[in-house]
Amino acid sequence: MADVASTSHPMAAGEPAATNYLKAERGFKSWIFTLDHKRIGVMYLWSVLLMFLLGGIFAMLVRLELLTPGKTIMEADTYNRMFTLHGAVMIFLFIIPAIPASLGNFVLPLMLGAKDVAFPRLNLASYWIYVIGAVFGVVAMVTGGVDTGWTFYTPYSTTSSTSVTTMTFAAFVLGFSSIFTGVNFIATIHRLRAPGMTWFKTPLFVWGIYATAIIQVLATPILGITLVLLMMERVFSVGIFDPRLGGDPVLFQHFFWFYSHPAVYIMILPGMAIISEIIPTFSRKNIFGYRAIAYSSVAIAFISFLVWGHHMFVSGQSELASAVFSFLTFLVAIPSGVKVFNWLATMYKGSIDLKAPMLYAIMFLMLFAIGGLTGLFLGALATDIHLHDTYFVVAHFHFVMVGGTVIAFIGGLHYWWPKMFGRMYSEKWARIAAVLIFIGFNVTFLPQFVLGTRGMPRRYYNYLDQFQPLHAFSTVGSWILGLGLFIVLGYLLASLRKRYDAPPNPWGGTTLEWTTSSPPIAHNFEHVPVVTREPYDHSPAPAPAPAGD
């Protein structure tokens, strides 16, 4: 394969089949009670993929309904439930745990040269709490659904007769799962780095996950208390958010967005973290501006707490607050821009290898750039008044969340799939699917920018005839996107039927996870690795096998 002279650790390439983590123990119980971070990561992976499928089905139904004005396939009430469930499932059950809890869980200790995360039992608890939360979510879906939108805005959410209480309880439970993951990763990154791995020798994925964990720990509790207050409001009419009782419904939005805006960065930071891994590997070059990217992750984490009010420009919040929030919002563009330019500089004069993960990384750069720039339109006070609650917003956050996070997630999945399961997938099909996904995504969401600027409001069931062609474009795009995603699922699953054929380092990566076998042994490394080099140093190794003990 391609790893000529690029890997610094030629050892650990022995025949792993007998002792790898997938085969170390057998039976159902060995999975559900496992403390191995790799197995927990794999369980998380299948769970979030299942939720992605569920949320995707809701999305396809929503798009199908919007194909024509008026009723296409469902009544307005059903439509309200569909878009709410699409949002709630995608946000709370898929995208927030998607990268940190599945790929992060698997890769993070490997990258650090550790045997496991700091608290393996807490890790397992996090997974099962996630499952419990998902069960409550499904219960809410089958007992009437939810029609408030995933944001649960008061006062409607305190009076809606749908299963809001169950769904908020599900989100509350899921918050614990997220907090436990964050606490675990913070402790792991602080104390379980391999000998010699200083902070600035950790891969950038670690920095991204660390910044994510900070947000998970600092923001999620506020979501917890918000949802408790909402449940209390519904059950006891405590009055804090109910204007009839003297409460303040806008206060709910402050509480909600204090979590949910940073949560957007819980979603995008791990995506950026993956891109920081893929680009140097497939450019065969050291990363440009390592420290700038590392610091910008942490900067994004902290600035993300200062900007939540930009969701509330038309809510009746004070003009002073709106102006301050608008200003602070623009600050986020700085570290985001720092990252993008450093990635571009890394690719410049690199030896670029357009394998599937790199295709997704380039896709990320394009789509995230559009998503990020349109975010500035919405952060500007004056334009937001016009664009607020239109399809422009829908298109913007789908460019960031799908074009950014989901594309990065799929890229990361392709990047680490050989490491996780020991098999290579079909590169040919991977490229076909990548092209379909790129086309499908743009056909779906680019027309929504136009719809939004022309005044199509979001979440509406019916619309004027003049919007129909663009809606039709968007719906057809969703079919192409769906087809591309199904092809991905198909060839990934097909690869699992093969024998182990992945070498330890199929891409010529330089970080520690590529120094162990594919799939890794149960304790990750034969010997504790000792780190002496920078994480993305592609120059030939100075001495053979520094991985002694």
Provide the binding-site residues for other proteins, judged by CB under 8 A.
25, 33, 35, 114-120, 122, 179, 182-184, 186-188, 190-192, 214, 217-222, 224-226, 228-229, 232-233, 236-240, 243, 245-248, 250-251, 254-255, 258, 305-306, 308-309, 312, 316-321, 324-325, 523, 528
Shortest reach from residue 501's CB to other proteins, in Å:
29
- Report residue 307 as tokens: 């900007």
Nearer to other proteins among residue 118 and residue 547 (C-beta): 118
Shortest reach from residue 425's CB to other proteins, in Å:
31
Shortest reach from residue 163's CB to other proteins, in Å:
20
Shortest reach from residue 239's CB to other proteins, in Å:
5
Shortest reach from residue 305's CB to other proteins, in Å:
6
| Whole-number Å distance between alpha carbons of 128 and 448 | 38
Nearer to other proteins among residue 3 and residue 25 (C-beta): 25
Shortest reach from residue 49's CB to other proteins, in Å:
27
Q: Using the structure block, give the residue that is written with the tokens 């002073």.
A: 320
Shortest reach from residue 391's CB to other proteins, in Å:
26
Q: From the centroid of its chain, how far is CA 265?
A: 9
Q: Measured on CA atoms in the order 172, 178, 182, 188, is the torsion positive or negative? A: positive
Nearest by Cα to 208 from 107, 294, 289, 292: 294
Shortest reach from residue 311's CB to other proteins, in Å:
12
Nearer to other proteins among residue 269 and residue 407 (C-beta): 269
Q: Spell out the SS3 assignment of 367-416.
A: HHHHHHHHHHHHHCHHHHHHHCCEHHHHHHHHHHHHHHHHHHHHHHHHHH
Instruction: Count the neighbouring beta carbons within 10 Å of the beta carbon of residue 135.
Output: 12
Shortest reach from residue 387's CB to other proteins, in Å:
20
Nearer to other proteins among residue 193 and residue 398 (C-beta): 193
Nearer to other proteins among residue 29 and residue 499 (C-beta): 29
Q: Spell out the SS3 assignment of 511-522.
A: CHHHHCCCCCEC
- Report residue 46 as tokens: 């299948």
Shortest reach from residue 121's CB to other proteins, in Å:
9
| Whole-number Å distance between alpha carbons of 88 and 166 | 12
Q: Using the structure block, give the residue that is written with the tokens 């614990």.
A: 176
Shortest reach from residue 38's CB to other proteins, in Å:
12
Amino acid at 449: F
- Report residue 217 as tokens: 């720990």
Nearer to other proteins among residue 321 and residue 354 (C-beta): 321
Nearest by Cα to 273 from 115, 182, 405, 109: 405
Nearer to other proteins among residue 253 and residue 475 (C-beta): 253
Contact predicate 376/330, CB 8 Å:
yes
- List all residues 6 or more positions away from 201 whose beta carbon is below 8 Å from its beta carbon: 531, 533, 534, 535
Q: What angle do CA 216, 218, 223 make, to 5 degrees?
A: 75
Shortest reach from residue 194's CB to other proteins, in Å:
10
Instruction: Count the neighbouring beta carbons within 10 Å of the beta carbon of residue 30.
Output: 12
Count how many Cα atoms sit within 13 Å of the Cα of residue 182 in the half-sphere of its side chain: 22
- DSSP three-state, residue 524: strand
Shortest reach from residue 36's CB to other proteins, in Å:
9
DSSP secondary structure letters along 207-263: HHHHHHHHHHHHHHHHHHHHHHHHHHHHHH---SS-GGGT--HHHHHHHHHHHHHHH
| Whole-number Å distance between alpha carbons of 26 and 34 | 11
In our burial notation (b when 16+ CB lie closer than 10 A, e otherwise), range 397-425 reads bbbbbbbbbbbbbbbbbbbbbbbbbbbbb
Nearer to other proteins among residue 135 and residue 228 (C-beta): 228
Nearer to other proteins among residue 30 and residue 466 (C-beta): 30
Amino acid at 31: W
Nearer to other proteins among residue 181 and residue 442 (C-beta): 181
Nearest by Cα to 402 from 223, 264, 217: 264
Nearer to other proteins among residue 190 and residue 428 (C-beta): 190
Amino acid at 50: L
Nearer to other proteins among residue 145 and residue 520 (C-beta): 520
Shortest reach from residue 452's CB to other proteins, in Å:
25
The pair phi, psi for residue 524, each rounded to 5°, is 75, -55
Amino acid at 204: L
| Whole-number Å distance between alpha carbons of 30 and 405 | 31
Nearer to other proteins among residue 214 and residue 338 (C-beta): 214
- DSSP three-state, residue 543: coil
- Report residue 209 as tokens: 């996950």
Nearer to other proteins among residue 139 and residue 528 (C-beta): 528
